[in-house]
Amino acid sequence: MRENEHHEHKANQHDHHDPAEDLSLPERPLDLAEVRANLQSKSGKQYWRTLEELSEDPNFTEMLHREFPRQAPSEWDESVDRRDFLKLMAASLAFAGLSGCGRTPEQHIVPYVKQPDGLVLGKPQYYATAMPFGADAIGLLVESHEGRPTKIEGNPDHPSSLGATNVFAQASILNLYDPDRAQTATQYGEIRTWSQFLDAAQSLAAAFKATQGEGFRILTGTITSPTLAAQIQSLLTVYPLAKWHQWEPAVSDGAREGAKLAFGNYVNTVYRPENAEVILSLDSDFLGSGPGHIRYAREFSHRRKLDQFAEDRRIGDEMNRLYVVEPTPSVTGASADHRLPLRASEIQLFARALASKLGLGGSPALPPNAEKFLNAVAKNLQRFPRNSLVIAGEHQPAEVHALVHAINAALGNVGTTLYYTGPVEAHPVNHIESLRQLCADIEANKVDTLLILGVNPVYTAPHDFDFASKIGFNEKTKSKKVRTTIHVSSHFDETSELCDWHVAESHYLETWGDARCFDGTVSVVQPLIAPLYHTHSHREVLAAFSDQPGVTDYDALRDRLKAANPSADFEKFWRKTLHDGVVAGSPFAPINVSPKFDPASLPAVKVGSPNEIEFIFRPDPCVYDGRFANNGWLQELPKPVTKLTWDNAALVSPKTAEQLDLAHNVAWRGGEHGKIYSNVVDISLSNSKVTAAAWILPGQADGVVVLPLGYGRKRAGYTGTNKGFNAYVVRTSDALWAATASSNAVKRTGEDYPLACTQYHFNMEGRQILATGTLEEYRKNPNFANKHAEAPPPELSLYKGEKEYPYEKMQNRWAMAIDLNSCNGCNACVIACQSENNIAVVGKDQVMRGREMHWIRIDRYYKAESPTNDPSTYNESLDNPETFFQPVPCQQCENAPCEQVCPVGATVHSAEGLNDMTYNRCVGTRYCSNNCPYKVRRFNFLRFQDWETPQFKLLRNPEVTVRSRGVMEKCTYCVQRISNARIEAEKLNQPIADGAIVTACEQACPTQAIVFGNANDKNSRVAKLREQQRNYSILAELNARPRTTYLAAVRNPNPELEKT
Amino acid sequence: MAQIFHRSTNFIARFSVFSAFFLAGLGVIVVLAVARSPYMTRQNVVREQPVQFSHKHHVGDDGIDCRYCHAGVETSAVAGVPPTKTCMNCHSILFNNAEYLEPIRESYRTDKSIEWNKVHRLADFVYFNHSIHVNKGVGCSSCHGQINQMPLVFQANTLLMQWCLDCHRNPEQALRPKDQVFNMDWTPPADQAQIGKKLAAERNIRTTAELTSCSTCHR
């Protein structure tokens, strides 16, 4: 009955065509029971990516096999019918000749009037700076072409970067050039000059002088900048009754309060995963998010590089081991050797039971199926005292953090695998209490002037605070509760709309400043460009309320550094600091603290009954708390685990989906490749309601619904407005990270919604693409990855290949090796590639047609291995599959199948064996893409690049052609970097040194999973990796001889937890 | 039945068929010829400039080295058009009242760049690098012609891909002794073929296959 209703509904919604024409297969919702049965019928290692491919849905098979499923309209706009299309084509043909006529227009050369010192035209320059992000700062080196920053790289000298970056740092360059940025100060929406704002601020300041600042409130996010903090403190000294509030929506108070509970005051924890043999993460995504995660990922991966040299230390066939207990799959969970999905509230039970097991007292009560896991973990941790590490998740409550401090102390880990320092935040407070206080004071009419710096509380504050009513104009009473509200932000957003004043905020690449990173090191924020618009920094706005409104950021920074670092030669110190990007000697020294806290004294944990649904809130891996909503690169970036783009979705486990009666449908309407429709649900939670699309995510804990934050923005800009649903709407101050409700809280609306999931694209259909094994298997047979397919001898090929190109004898044989053991799917390479190679954003509609343009994609695989029906096994393949990531750029085949079918010679071999793509020759037949076994070619179906917006002209890398419509493109191994390195080497008449060419993906990778170099140079890193036995090439049996090879993923499971 | 067309019309039919092919062929030839003509390539077309700067005077008469103004030519992809400051280095003293140089002084005063008309223009998908050519011993005049004799600069060669390839297939013809690279009056000696080969070997000039790979210039 339900199905019938469903079909009718779908017919109404998606069928615009005459039913007589409809030759499609009947649509049917995903049947999870069938998926389970199919999984269990399989034996041996099986890899799968989507539930649909396991369900054997004929619609889905059709979608995979045919680029254009039966009768699927392939036009890009269904409003144009065949007759109109032919007319247009005829006209285009008639006028085609005309467009070719005429000379190219005159161009001008506009030189400098006075060229800056040290600048050579045509040569990029690099400046050290840092991106402040929450309680961390990522050290960067930014590439600048004649004064315009174009590419962001990590700063190798910076402790939180070590030369790598993450997606936010990479994509932040697009924020600088975002055409939707606020460009000037406004008052009630009218444009105001900065001096008008200064006058207004000074007259407010004069009034506060009389009242000692009574009613003056400042609201900021987390601040680690010593200079900015000093500015605020000096204001608070002048106005002693003024108050500073903080609100960071996506960072939990758990870590801060946990430290307070354990040690009595706020303490910062720095981890050293490098020294840990065994790591247990309790809902911590320390490899993928949070302060220091780039460094942690590097350190963690060092211990998993089998038979390699990492930092001059050989790692043999030993590995560390990672256990993860978490409610929803994260990047860290996907890298785990053992993973246990538990509800967020059950994590605390687990932590208490672990503490009790380690003899710290407290309750040993446990969630039912976690016993075996806990025993194994506890035993394993105890085997490595001083060299184990337990990490509590950012979104876990204070109790878990306190317990973990106690556990680490009991295991003797303090000093080896972690250490404590003073707080990195300039002024640590409990954020939710701070915001609550502000709201209460506004209600009590104690607030006269509110200055909001950077944050967007109207969008992000818990809905029970109803922040909009606090600062907005009340139509009924015709009054406002706060007399003057001033908002400083990069975009005119939800909060700006309700404030009297809005000051446009400068990007971090436009201002001088500083920030502390996760270990306390002070980094200098150095501008790369003068502000593009009439924008100002937080410090300048604060200074407007002081006696010295005219002090520049530059002077303020220098004065503070001079005061903090008295040295004889300050100029020398200053220049060195600017060059290095970090202030020498500024990291915090470890402090000695010991937990004064008894786990037995904790009050009992409240755990909902198994029938209840637990809703958890998480910052989105792409748009974070919503601040990156208008960033097209991040919107189109497939999220690490779900691989969804352009939307968030309410994530549920397969079992919960069955319980709540939720499914996906494969539908062919809407163009080639079809679409996946998800059921839409109404979520009623804490007296509020939100409508969301549901997405079934294997590996999630049962009974948990994840509501990712950051979407559903009402005023984000052209790209970010009205994408996804707004989870803040159902988030309350007493349940910031988890809320429980009965299962009635989730109701299907009967509607369906298409989600753009890239994991359906470029499917390689069961061929052996991924090779994985256990450490045990690796020790027995290091060559396990190659046992399934041997590459045929080169002579067998019909291609000219080595007959024409003597690859072995060439001076340079470029190759790439990707270590699947190190890759954790963080996506930094994808954005780095997009930024380096001017790759276009295509939009959700085009992504659903499989037309995303990313040159490197990261496939996410689930592994199924001889599942059993025993419900006590912790690792059931649908509910908790092992997860693997595989980055796939162009494989640069030596016998490239794409080249053989190009009718115009647009893709040909270079003399060094690179598979060149020549855009100006390409006529767009797409034969090459069709013939590519790896599906790495991307076609510009439309003119995806924005050629008009002037800001984007500044953004582009001048070393790479901007492609137009009708042209094929693909990964080039960053041929522009190869060319430049070759030219520099040839000028010196030397061979190109190993490491002189670093591809964009390699440079961004936090775990050094990608290595590029010359395979014919026996001493190069890539040649050594290719020598390794676990090195294999994808589809070796095709004899395409790809230059990109992979090192098989090896996991290190605990034999005690092996499946029975 | 009487024939509709007289026999003589056969000639017209044959002639029409022939001329259709002839005209189509002619059309192709015309299109190609126009594309290669100076009208399209702008070879030998003298360009007006905001200031009628004479290379003939500065290089030919005064003997200023190319690199005094085009400072990036040995290190960078672009030789670089000099900043106004470079003009003012001399012209703040010499001819500092000349009406002719007012745009230069105005630019310097107002901090507003002079907009020169581009003479040598490559397509946007071509990535030419000056520094490697100069470092390998390809002289300026090989591509730019005798700049020291040009009152106003014009493009001495077609800059068509075919012209690039002529040299990338036979780089020996353009290699000079290093001290002759900036000599505008250099002419190849009679035994250039042998000397070129020797220089190519000395300087590790890459093979023709490498020099003519697409990604050498396009990316």
For residue range A649-692, what is the model confidence (pLDDT) as tens digits? 999 998 898 888 888 776 654 445 557 788 899 999 888 999 99
The answer to which of A206-220, A499-513, A551-565, A768-782 has the lowest mean pLDDT is A768-782
Asked if A121 lies within 8 A of B124 by C-beta distance, the reply is no
pLDDT bucket at A1037, cuts 50 / 70 / 90: confident
Asked if A111 lies within 8 A of B125 by C-beta distance, the reply is no
Q: Does A916 touch chain B (CB under 8 A)?
A: yes
For residue range A816-852, what is the model confidence (pLDDT) as tens digits? 999 999 999 999 999 999 999 999 999 998 888 888 8
Calpha distance A981→A994 (Å, rounded)? 11
Give which of A253, A187, A245 is closest to A221, Cα–Cα. Answer: A245
The answer to which of A49-53, A618-622, A627-631 has the lowest mean pLDDT is A49-53
Q: Does A989 touch chain B (CB under 8 A)?
A: yes
Pick from B76, B116, B132: CB nearest A123: B76
Residues in B closer than 8 angstroms to A912, CB to CB, are 210, 213
Contact of A422 with A696, CB cutoff 8 Å = no
Question: A605 vs A872, which has greater pLDDT?
Answer: A605
Q: Provide the pLDDT for residue A565.
A: 84
Calpha distance A132→A621 (Å, rounded)? 17
Task: Check: pTM over 0.95? Answer yes or no.
Answer: no
* B1 CA: distance to closest CA in chain A (Å): 42
A1056 pLDDT above the threshold of 90: no
Give which of A654, A642, A664, A746 is closest to A701, Cα–Cα. Answer: A654
Calpha distance B64→B56 (Å, rounded)? 10
Q: Does A811 touch chain B (CB under 8 A)?
A: no
For tokens 């393949």, name the residue.
Answer: A877
Q: Does A106 touch chain B (CB under 8 A)?
A: yes
Calpha distance B58→A557 (Å, rounded)? 47
Mutate to test the interface with A, among B108, B120, B214 (most CBs of A within 10 A): B214
Pick from B39, B113, B135: CB nearest A987: B135
Give which of B171, B167, B144 is closest to B156, Cα–Cα. Answer: B144
pLDDT bucket at A306, cuts 50 / 70 / 90: confident
Q: Provide the pLDDT for residue A711.
A: 94
Question: A474 vs A723, which has greater pLDDT?
Answer: A723
Q: Provide the pLDDT for residue A310.
A: 60
As a whole number, mean pLDDT of residues A504-513 equals 95
Question: A66 vs A408, which has greater pLDDT?
Answer: A408
Pick from B111, B121, B204: CB nearest A986: B204
Mutate to test the interface with A, among B28, B213, B217 (most CBs of A within 10 A): B213
Q: Does A99 touch chain B (CB under 8 A)?
A: no
Beta bridge partners of A421: A268
Residues in B closer than 8 angstroms to A890, CB to CB, are none
Question: A30 vs B114, which has greater pLDDT?
Answer: B114
Q: Which of the listed ranges A85-89, A148-152, A783-787 does the model predict with the highest average pLDDT?
A: A148-152
Q: Could you count the other beta carbons within 10 Å of the beta carbon of residue A267?
A: 20
What share of residues in chain B are helix, strand, coil (percent, to 5)?
50, 5, 45
**What are the backbone dihedrals phi and psi of residue A639, each rounded to the nearest 5 degrees, phi first?**
-65, 145
As a whole number, mean pLDDT of residues A878-893 equals 91
The answer to which of A98-107, A129-138, A268-277, A389-398 has the lowest mean pLDDT is A98-107
A71 pLDDT above the threshold of 70: no
> What is the per-residue burial (b if ≥16 Cβ within 10 Å, else e) of A992-1022?
bebebbbbbbbbbbbbbbbbbbbbbbeebbb
Q: Provide the pLDDT for residue A743.
A: 85
Q: Provide the pLDDT for residue A874.
A: 38
Give which of A132, A140, A134 is closest to A162, Cα–Cα. Answer: A140
Question: A70 vs A809, which has greater pLDDT?
Answer: A809
Q: Does A918 touch chain B (CB under 8 A)?
A: yes
Calpha distance A212→B67 (Å, rounded)? 65
Calpha distance A915→A898 (Å, rounded)? 9
Asked if A120 lies within 8 A of B76 by C-beta distance, the reply is yes
Pick from A122, A910, A920: CB nearest B76: A122
- Name the residue type at position A199: D
For residue range A700-728, what is the model confidence (pLDDT) as tens digits? 998 999 999 999 999 999 999 999 999 99
Average pLDDT, chain A: 86
Asked if A961 lies within 8 A of B129 by C-beta distance, the reply is no
A426 pLDDT above the threshold of 70: yes
Asked if A113 lies within 8 A of B125 by C-beta distance, the reply is no
Residues sharing a CB contact under 8 Å with residue A514, sequence separation 6 or more, in sequence order: A130, A225, A226, A227, A522, A523, A524, A525, A557, A560, A561, A583
pLDDT bucket at A913, cuts 50 / 70 / 90: confident
Question: A289 vs A788, which has greater pLDDT?
Answer: A289
Q: Does A119 touch chain B (CB under 8 A)?
A: no
Beta bridge partners of A142: A127, A152
Q: Provide the pLDDT for residue A502.
A: 95
Calpha distance A695→A710 (Å, rounded)? 17
- The conformation of residue A19, written as its DSSP 8-state character, comes to G
Asked if B214 lies within 8 A of A983 by C-beta distance, the reply is no
* Helix H or strand E encompassing A756: strand A746-757
Q: Is A751 exposed, middle or buried (0-12, 13-18, 19+ CB in 10 A)?
A: middle
pLDDT bucket at A277, cuts 50 / 70 / 90: very high
Contact of A535 with A505, CB cutoff 8 Å = yes
Calpha distance A913→A805 (Å, rounded)? 7
Contact of A182 with A489, CB cutoff 8 Å = yes
Asked if A122 lies within 8 A of B71 by C-beta distance, the reply is no
3-state SS record for A394-449: CCCCHHHHHHHHHHHHHCCCECCCEEEECCCCCCCCCHHHHHHHHHHHHHCCCCCE
For residue range A208-262, what is the model confidence (pLDDT) as tens digits? 999 999 999 999 999 999 999 999 999 999 999 999 999 999 988 999 999 999 9
The answer to which of A38-47, B33-42, B104-113 has the lowest mean pLDDT is A38-47
* Helix H or strand E encompassing A635: helix A632-636
Alpha helices, DSSP H only, in A101-225?
A: 167-176, 194-211
* Helix H or strand E encompassing A324: strand A321-326
Pick from A918, A919, A983: CB nearest B132: A983
A38 pLDDT above the threshold of 90: no
Calpha distance A312→A239 (Å, rounded)? 55
Q: Could you count the other beta carbons within 10 Å of the beta carbon of residue A126?
A: 13
A407 pLDDT above the threshold of 50: yes
- Name the residue type at position A555: D
For residue range A337-366, what is the model confidence (pLDDT) as tens digits? 999 999 888 899 899 999 988 888 777 778
Q: Provide the pLDDT for residue A723.
A: 92
Give which of A234, A195, A205, A231 is closest to A555, Cα–Cα. Answer: A231
Contact of B80 with B129, CB cutoff 8 Å = no
Sign of CA dihedral A38, A41, A42, A47: positive
Residues in A closer than 8 angstroms to B84, CB to CB, are 111-114
A53 pLDDT above the threshold of 90: no
Calpha distance A709→A724 (Å, rounded)? 10
Residues in B closer than 8 angstroms to A109, CB to CB, are 81, 115-118
Strands A501-504 and A484-489: parallel
Asked if B219 lies within 8 A of A961 by C-beta distance, the reply is yes
pLDDT bucket at B138, cuts 50 / 70 / 90: very high
Residues in A closer than 8 angstroms to B218, CB to CB, are 916, 918-920, 961
Q: Provide the pLDDT for residue A476.
A: 85
For tokens 């395409």, name the residue.
Answer: A1040
Tokens of A805: 């190109």
* Helix H or strand E encompassing A708: strand A704-709
Contact of A16 with A78, CB cutoff 8 Å = yes
Q: What's the residue count for chain A?
A: 1060
| Cα A743 to Cα A611, A702, A750, distances in angstroms | 7, 12, 17
For residue range A734-778, what is the model confidence (pLDDT) as tens digits? 889 999 988 889 999 988 888 888 887 666 566 778 888 888 888
For chain B, give the longest Cα–Cα distance. Answer: 98
Pick from A115, A123, A910: CB nearest B75: A123
Contact of A451 with A232, CB cutoff 8 Å = no
Residues in A closer than 8 angstroms to B206, CB to CB, are 911, 986
Q: Provide the pLDDT for residue A12.
A: 39
Asked if A961 lies within 8 A of B124 by C-beta distance, the reply is yes
pLDDT bucket at B111, cuts 50 / 70 / 90: very high
Q: Does A976 touch chain B (CB under 8 A)?
A: yes
As a whole number, mean pLDDT of residues B107-117 equals 94
Contact of A276 with A385, CB cutoff 8 Å = no
3-state secondary structure of A256: helix
Mutate to test the interface with B, among A120, A813, A907, A962 (most CBs of B within 10 A): A120
Asked if B118 lies within 8 A of A108 by C-beta distance, the reply is yes
- Name the residue type at position A562: K
ipTM (interface pTM): 0.91
Following DSSP, what letter does each residue of A739-753 receive, concatenated? EEE-GGGEEEEEEEE
Residues in B closer than 8 angstroms to A106, CB to CB, are 117-118
> What is the per-residue burial (b if ≥16 Cβ within 10 Å, else e) of A143-159?
bbbbebbbbbbbbeebb
